């Protein structure tokens, strides 16, 4: 007897429902509304999402700020017939009350084994079994990276506990095996700590443990995300794995066949269709039009454009967009030094600044925090930052591969505004800081400074664990996006400053 089922899997959509990146108004081959027309839903098909749906796009930001608009994300998932969702780390960025309201609107069941109720210690979204029309019994569990505990503001997760995802998945799998299941699925909002082809170690943290799950557990299918890395279907230590790209650029279409007790799993990378799903597109068009109008609102003027160059050029020489955000953060925090981090895509600000410029350039929900840092600690973080660069055989400067694979992480390179420093890439890692001065005077290890930065970086995000040892001076009450808007609106014409003072050298003998 042969039994067959299909699975459509998306992850890290980040609120990109419409075929636009919101940096402009061009129609693009992306967005969930262009993916779902190809989902052939029947009683032997599951549609699953791997989390990070509520944050990341202008639409998501607008709807969070205008609750009367509801959750267009839920509308699309319901129309498409999603069966299960797990949660991503960004799904709690607006607090659990907002998350719960979203989940209430979903027809899909939430599965996230390692999220517990803080008071009762009980699982909020436990594993489940789905029996298909053809009789196949599917055990399915969801887990999310426990690095939420590192990154997220305490008040946003005060009523829940995020436990070890590996242990949660392991226990769930043991419980599943007590039933006669045809297929076991783990939906993991996390990626791989090793290269899935070579096994090469990519990360020593526990942010991503997909390789460990495949190596030590025996799920039939592992659906991953978080890294925004396209991984086409393949077998890893006996488990079939996939990972779609972010922002609904594609999806995984998986076929599972069981014949004479043996499973065969195959998949393709599904591409967005030419046209979005018409009925849902029309239904949500009014809110999308409001988003586009909101993005085109002028909020002020600059004395010159502050547009971004390509990533290596910005990292080497600075940029007006960094200068402007640095000025915003220094004024808001009144700190001596500020740390500016740009997104992977940060186009910058036109001379007539619109909300589109701001949202496209700083798409995060980060708050600005001020810490007390010593000279020695400041040297440590600047040294760590220098890891972004690598030299080739001709001593040409390139971006280190660790920032490009397995996940593109330009946002882990920082600009330090308020100090002057020099990095000598001819020296070995950890000894590249050639000079560091504050107001013309060399920085001593025992000196103390105030430094403002995003709450993500202050939490140690990006491997900057030094900040975790720095006392908090001001926790900050506003998001950096809000501070940027207020700053640009504060004057008839904002002068883009020139405060970045650093040099990256590679004149090796």
The dihedral of CA 192, 195, 197, 200: what is its sign? negative
Whole-structure pTM value: 0.86
The dihedral of CA 187, 190, 191, 193: what is its sign? negative
pLDDT score, position 286: 97
Residue 403 in 3-state DSSP? helix
Question: With contact defined as beta carbons under 8 Å apart, do 376 and 433 qualify?
Answer: no
Give me the architecture of the 298-505 domain, per CATH. Alpha-Beta Complex (3.90)
H helices present in 66-115, as ranges: 72-80, 96-105
Low-confidence ranges of the chain (pLDDT < 50): none
pLDDT score, position 112: 98
How many residues make up the chain in this entry? Answer: 509
pLDDT score, position 129: 97
The dihedral of CA 273, 278, 282, 283: what is its sign? negative
Give me the architecture of the 3-291 domain, per CATH. 4-Layer Sandwich (3.60)
Task: Confirm whether 3-291 and 298-505 share one CATH topology.
Answer: no
The encoded tokens of residue 248 equal 């609904």
| Full strand arrangement of the beta sheet holding 441-442 | 441-442, 433-438, 420-424, 501-505
Output b/e per residue, 204-217; b: 16+ Cβ within 10 A: eebbbbbbbbbeeb
Domain positions in the chain are 3-291, 298-505
Rounded CA-CA distance 441/336 in Å is: 14
pLDDT score, position 72: 98
């Amino acid at each position: 007897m042969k039994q067959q089922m299909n699975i459509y899997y998306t992850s890290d959509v980040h609120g990109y429902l419409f075929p636009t990146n919101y940096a402009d108004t061009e129609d693009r081959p992306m967005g969930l509304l262009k993916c779902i027309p190809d989902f052939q839903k029947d009683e032997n098909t599951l549609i699953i999402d791997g989390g990070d749906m509520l944050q990341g796009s202008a639409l998501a930001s607008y709807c969070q700020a205008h609750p009367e608009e509801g959750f267009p994300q839920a509308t699309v998932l319901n129309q498409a017939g999603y069966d299960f969702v797990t949660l991503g780390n960004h799904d709690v960025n607006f607090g659990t009350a907002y998350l719960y309201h979203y989940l209430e609107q979903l027809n899909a069941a939430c599965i996230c084994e390692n999220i517990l109720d803080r008071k009762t210690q009980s699982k909020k979204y436990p594993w489940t079994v789905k029996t298909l029309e053809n009789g196949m019994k599917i055990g399915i569990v969801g887990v999310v990276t426990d690095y939420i505990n590192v990154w997220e503001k305490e008040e946003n997760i005060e009523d829940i506990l995020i436990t070890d995802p590996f242990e949660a998945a392991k226990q769930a799998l043991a419980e599943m095996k007590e039933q006669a299941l045809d297929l076991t699925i783990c939906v993991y909002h996390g990626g791989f700590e090793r290269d899935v082809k070579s096994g090469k170690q990519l990360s020593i943290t526990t942010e991503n443990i997909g390789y460990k799950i495949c190596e030590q557990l025996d799920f039939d299918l592992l659906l991953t995300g978080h890294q925004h890395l396209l991984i086409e279907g393949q077998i890893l230590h006996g488990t079939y794995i996939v990972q779609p790209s972010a922002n609904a650029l594609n999806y995984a279409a998986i076929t599972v066949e069981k014949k004479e007790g043996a499973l065969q799993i195959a998949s393709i990378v599904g591409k967005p269709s030419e046209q979005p799903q018409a009925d849902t597109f029309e239904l949500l068009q009014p809110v999308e039009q409001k988003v586009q109008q909101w993005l085109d609102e002028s909020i002020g003027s600059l004395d010159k454009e502050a547009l971004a160059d390509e990533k290596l050029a910005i990292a080497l020489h600075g940029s007006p967009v960094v200068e402007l955000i640095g000025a915003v953060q220094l004024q808001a925090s009144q700190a001596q030094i500020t740390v500016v981090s740009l997104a992977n895509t940060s186009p910058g600000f036109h001379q007539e600044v619109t909300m589109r410029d701001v949202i496209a350039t700083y798409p995060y929900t980060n708050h600005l925090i001020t810490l007390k840092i010593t000279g020695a600690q400041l040297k440590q973080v600047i040294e760590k930052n220098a890891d972004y660069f690598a030299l080739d055989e001709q001593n040409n400067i390139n971006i280190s591969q660790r920032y490009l694979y397995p996940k593109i992480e330009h946002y882990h390179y920082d600009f330090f505004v308020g100090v002057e420093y020099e990095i000598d890439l001819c020296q070995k890692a950890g000894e590249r800081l050639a000079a560091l001065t504050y107001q013309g005077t060399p920085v001593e290890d025992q000196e103390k400074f105030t430094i403002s930065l995003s709450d993500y970086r202050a939490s140690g995000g990006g491997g900057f664990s030094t900040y975790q040892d720095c006392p908090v001076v001001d926790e900050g009450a506003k998001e950096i996006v809000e501070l940027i808007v207020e700053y640009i609106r504060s004057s008839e014409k904002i002068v883009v400053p020139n405060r970045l003072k650093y040099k990256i050298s590679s004149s090796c003998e």
